[in-house]
Every structure is written in C-alpha cells, then in structure tokens.
Amino acid sequence: MYFIYVLYSKVANRFYTGYTKNIDKRLKHHNLGLNRWSRRGIPWELVYSEDYKTKKEALRRERFLKTGKGREELSARIAKVVTARV
C-alpha cells in the first residue's frame, strides 16, 4: 500500500505534498530535518492523506495534486478536513 500525504507547517505557513509507503516514518523523517526542502518548516503536521494499491497510482495522484487544478481540489479537501476537526 502506498500513500500520498500533505503536511502543513505553521512556522513556514506552507504545505508539502509527497508519497510514501509509511506515513509515520516519513513524517518523522521530515520533522528530523532529513529532507532539505522541508527542513525550514519544522514541525510538520499531517493534514491529509489518501491510500493507493500501487506506487504508480500514488505517483500519478501526487503529480496531479501539484498542478493548478490539483491544488484547487486539494485546498477544498483540506478545508473540509480542518473544518471537521473543529
């Protein structure tokens, strides 16, 4: 099983989208500063994820979410998740 995930940093006020096989391990990786791009945003918080059976599906979805239409869709989904948490 593969996942696409979205992290949010209050410090940097930024989102980070990626894919992984293990979300918990990947989140720790980001929060330990082992990823150069996300190092400045520590701490990161998982705000959204989706699961896929294959790496190919997860990569396709990640690429889409990094496009203009994908970002719009993702913003709407994240807003729903954040609203549901409150």
| Per-residue pLDDT, 38 | 87
| Per-residue pLDDT, 84 | 61
Q: What is the pLDDT along the chain (86 residues), one digit of tens a residue?
A: 999 999 999 999 999 999 999 999 999 999 999 988 888 999 999 999 999 999 999 999 999 999 999 999 999 988 876 666 54
CATH number of the domain encompassing residue 49: 3.40.1440
**55-65 and 68-85 helices cross at what angle (nearest 10)?**
90
| Per-residue pLDDT, 85 | 58
| Per-residue pLDDT, 83 | 63
Please give the span between the terminal C-alpha atoms of the chain, in angstroms, as a whole number: 29
Residue 79: domain span? 2-85
Total of domains in the chain: 1
